[in-house]
């Protein structure tokens, strides 16, 4: 294709679509991706996911180490991504170690939040250091959670150690990522939502006209992009559509309806991860954190199913973290329940990796340029001596995966891992909190 004769600028495309969405960079815009036009590789992305409370350590930690290790039961959903993730054992915060359930506060900071008696202090989180250097993007970073707010709901702390509020509102996240251009477009978007139509449906003719002018590679990339947006929008509107179309007759005034209820843990995590994939694909943000639940709740629907499957008594989440942790035996019902939850987290991560691996980048796939950290601060309740950690993605950023790495207790800290991630994301930092240096075992 002669790109000079059919040159399309980003402004042209946005104008044709009514400026209601932001498009990915297409080869036809300049003959290359945005990164290529700047003589750079695709920018790095970072997503950190926090596991609350304890884990089933019998099923989490592999029995052997090295590249030939046997994948543990919890990680089986990730088996087809074996060369794209690594299991890290015995890393923890050392000087910044705390006990109890405030671990989300310092998971990404490594700071001893109780260093001053009676006063909670904190420092900048690793994700915010990354956000400082791997932009600029429309949203510098995105904090997601099981509930909206600060404290244990968020993993992100700014340069002053102040909590960056997290959100659990899917629609709010989507609209923040794709804001209308002006007030008139805002009204149009609101009208489309009220009529339960896809935002993209109003631009079908523009999209089809544009696609006819694209090369084969750009057509595929555009279709990937449009499919991602349609999938996210459909999932966001499904609940309202079902209620409006199929609900039985009842006295509405006597019932309080929560259309954005999050009673399903799996659905909540999948929805948020869909938004993460979309935000990374469109390059609207490159840094995301998400807490996957609360240290003491909520008790999602899945816990009831897991209770029936394992024979564990019905408890609150906090009690499961206590009763299912420690050396209670691999056959302990509460421990088995926690193991089912751990496996579900890995299923969700695997699904996200599948989506990122299917998106083409200038060199490899989006997963190759995205660092994913899944982990928590506790093996058993209140015990922060060895963090359960999985590091995935970033193969084009210099990470060497497919291994189980285990260090001696207190030999290396989680801050060393964070420093390694920041440096591979090309952040000009030489240290992070209590780091001694990067973990060379993780690098090519």
Task: Give the pLDDT confidence of 205-230 residue by residue, as tens digits.
Answer: 556 667 677 777 777 666 755 654 56
Look up residue 24 and give its two tokens: 């990915």
Write the burial class of residue 66 (CB in 10 Å: 0-12 exposed, 13-18 middle, 19+ buried): exposed
* Greater pLDDT, 180 or 241: 180
Which residue intervals of the chain bear CATH 3.40.720.10?
45-168+262-442
> Which pair of structure tokens corresponds to residue 301?
């629907």
Q: Summarize the confidence of residues 158-184 as an average pLDDT.
A: 76
Average pLDDT over residues 113-134: 90
CATH says 45-168+262-442 is which class? alpha beta
Mean of pLDDT over the chain: 80
Confidence band, pLDDT 50/70/90 cuts, at residue 179 = low
129-133, 292-296, 337-341: the lowest-pLDDT one: 292-296
Q: Are 151 and 166 in contact (CB under 8 A)?
A: no
pLDDT at position 227, please? 59
């Amino acid at each position: 294709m002669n790109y000079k004769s059919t040159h399309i600028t980003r402004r042209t495309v946005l104008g044709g679509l009514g400026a209601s969405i932001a498009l990915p960079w297409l080869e036809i815009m300049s003959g290359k991706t945005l990164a290529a036009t700047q003589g750079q590789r695709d920018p790095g992305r970072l997503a950190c996911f926090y596991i609350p409370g304890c884990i089933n350590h019998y099923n989490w930690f592999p029995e052997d180490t090295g590249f030939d290790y046997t994948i543990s039961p919890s990680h089986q959903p990730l088996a087809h991504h074996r060369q794209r993730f690594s299991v890290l054992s015995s890393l923890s915060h050392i000087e910044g170690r705390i006990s109890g359930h405030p671990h989300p506060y310092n998971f990404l900071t490594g700071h001893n939040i109780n260093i001053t008696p009676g006063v909670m202090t904190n420092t900048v989180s690793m994700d915010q250091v990354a956000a400082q250097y791997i932009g600029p993007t429309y949203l510098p970073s995105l904090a997601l959670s099981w509930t909206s707010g600060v404290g244990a709901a968020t993993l992100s702390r700014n340069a002053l150690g102040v909590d960056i509020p997290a959100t659990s509102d899917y629609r709010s996240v989507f609209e923040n990522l794709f804001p209308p251009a002006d007030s008139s477009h805002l009204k149009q978007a609101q009208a489309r939502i009220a009529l339960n139509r896809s935002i993209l449906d109003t631009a079908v003719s523009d999209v089809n006209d544009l696609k006819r002018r694209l090369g084969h590679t750009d057509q595929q990339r555009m279709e990937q992009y449009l499919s991602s947006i349609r999938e996210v929008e459909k999932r966001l509107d499904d609940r309202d559509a079902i209620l409006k179309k199929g609900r039985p007759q009842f006295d509405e005034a006597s019932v309080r309806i929560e259309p954005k209820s999050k009673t399903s843990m799996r659905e909540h995590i999948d929805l948020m991860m869909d938004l993460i994939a979309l935000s990374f694909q469109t390059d609207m943000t490159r840094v995301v954190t998400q807490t996957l639940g609360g240290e003491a709740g909520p008790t999602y629907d899945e816990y009831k199913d897991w209770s029936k499957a394992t024979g564990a008594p019905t408890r609150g989440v906090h009690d499961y973290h206590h009763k299912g942790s420690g050396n209670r035996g691999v056959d302990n019902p509460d421990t088995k329940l926690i193991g089912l939850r751990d496996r579900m987290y890995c299923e969700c991560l695997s699904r996200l990796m599948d989506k990122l691996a299917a998106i083409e980048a200038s060199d490899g796939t989006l997963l190759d340029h995205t660092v994913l950290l899944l982990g928590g601060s506790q093996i058993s309740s209140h015990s922060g001596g060895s963090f359960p950690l999985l590091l995935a993605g970033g193969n084009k950023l210099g990470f060497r995966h497919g291994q189980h790495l285990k260090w001696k207790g207190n030999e290396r800290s989680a801050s060393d891992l964070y420093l390694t991630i920041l440096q591979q994301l090309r952040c000009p930092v030489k240290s992070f909190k209590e780091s001694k240096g990067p973990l060379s075992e993780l690098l090519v």
